[in-house]
Amino acid sequence: MKHVDTKQRQKKILSAIVEFYIETALPVGSRFVSQRFRYSISPATIRNVMADLEEAGLITHPHISAGRVPTDKGYRLYVDDLLEPKHLTKEEQSAISKMINRGHKDLESLMQACSKAISVITNVAGVVITPRIKRSLFKHIELIRIDSSRILVVIVTASGIVKNTIVHTHEDLTKPELHRISEFLNEELKGMFFDEIKTHLNRRLLEERDSLYSFLKKTVLLLSSPNIFSMEERLYFDGTASLMSCPEFSDIAMARVFLKAFEDRQDILELFNQDMEEEGVKVHIGMENRCKEIQNCSVITCNYKINQRTIGALGAIGPTRMEYGKVMCAVSYLSDLLGEALEDID
């Protein structure tokens, strides 16, 4: 009799269970799986395999007479080994493009459109965090005297993101003075990244000993405030409301903690910030998440880039029972699109 690869069959059956459960949200019974294989494997055999899978911790019972449900570990195996990459359809791609590429007049509406696009395509919540100015290319700086104690510092990145900070000073700097500083900085910082600026200026300060010293000193002091080159990190999201139709959130208490996580922002922001350090699509399943409020959810993230430099992150959050293939694909696609939309203009 022909020998069947046991491992292989286990995987096929796990795949079937995961996919069926993702589709229906109903515990999967042995008959259904058998059916899916056109009865080439009998329910009894499948029950045996299921028992093995359960022992391996990949699936469970809600109760003894119910079908099987994947565990976090089961999803993990599925995502790592079994998932076959899925592509967005042409229609989906063009629908997304339409949402992103309509001339957004500010960063805000672009971010919003982006999170909305993710949620519409994937049916889970879409999340985008604002680009990090620190990782951007310097384009322009301008110091503007508002009154004797306040100076407005405006910075512009190569991709056209603008940030302004009002700095309070003791010393009343005159307009020409500020103008001179602005001009100096615009020349000096050409081609640098914002996170290099402060160390660069400090180095310059050490080298310089002549007449320029006090001028440089003044400049450095002016820019010493810690938040001048970093933007308040914002979190844009969309689709949390429609997620409420999922059976996972039929329990209001579940829904509440989930929404609370978004309201607090902090934990989610941190998660995305960490993931930003790594390349490509990342998946966090259920209990793998540090943040307790979303431990019955999965998070899929991806960094996005401007001219090859990672500058932010976006992703999706939904119940562990989500279409991993599609969501991963959508997130990756939107990462590219957002990057392009922000591309340095010069």
Q: Contact positions toward a copy of itself, by CB under 8 A?
A: 105-106, 108-109, 139-140, 142, 144, 146-147, 150, 152, 154, 156, 160, 162, 164, 166, 227, 232, 234, 238-242, 244-245, 249-250, 252, 255-257, 259-260, 262-263, 345-346
Binding partner of residue 236 among DNA, a copy of itself, none, CB under 5 to 8 Å per kind? none
Q: Which is nearer to a copy of itself, 6 or 101 (CB)?
A: 101
Helices (H), 265-323: 266-276
Choose, by CB under 7 A, the member of 10, 11, 12, 43 that binds DNA.
Answer: 43
Q: Which is nearer to DNA, 73 or 265 (CB)?
A: 73
C-beta neighbour count of 176 within 10 angstroms: 9
Fill in the amino acid letter for 14. Answer: L
Least distance in angstroms from the C-beta of 338 to a copy of itself? 19
How many residues bind DNA, per CB under 7 A? 28
Q: Which is nearer to DNA, 66 or 192 (CB)?
A: 66
Listed residue (151, 134, 135, 133) closest to 143, CA to CA:
151
Ranges within 51-90 binding DNA (CB under 7 A): 51, 54, 61, 63-68
Rounded CA gap, 325 and 327, in Å?
6
Please give the radius of gyration of the chain, using alpha carbons only, rounded to the nearest integer. 26
Contact 299, 281 (CB under 8 A): no
Q: Which is nearer to DNA, 50 or 314 (CB)?
A: 50
Q: Is 21 in the site for DNA (CB under 7 A)?
A: no
Largest CA distance in the chain: 93
Rounded CA gap, 193 and 196, in Å?
5
Choose, by CB under 7 A, the member of 14, 22, 50, 285 that binds DNA.
Answer: 50
Q: What angle do CA 335, 267, 309 make, to 5 degrees?
A: 30
Side-chain-side CA neighbours of 224 within 13 Å: the count stands at 10
First-to-last CA distance in the chain?
Answer: 69
Q: Which is nearer to DNA, 13 or 268 (CB)?
A: 13
Q: Is 126 in the site for DNA (CB under 7 A)?
A: no
Rounded CA gap, 176 and 198, in Å?
23
Which run of H or of E encompasses 305? strand 297-306
> Pattern of binders to DNA over 245-264, x per CB under 7 A?
--------------------
Residues that bind DNA (CB under 7 A): 1, 4, 6, 9, 26-32, 41-45, 47-48, 50-51, 54, 61, 63-68
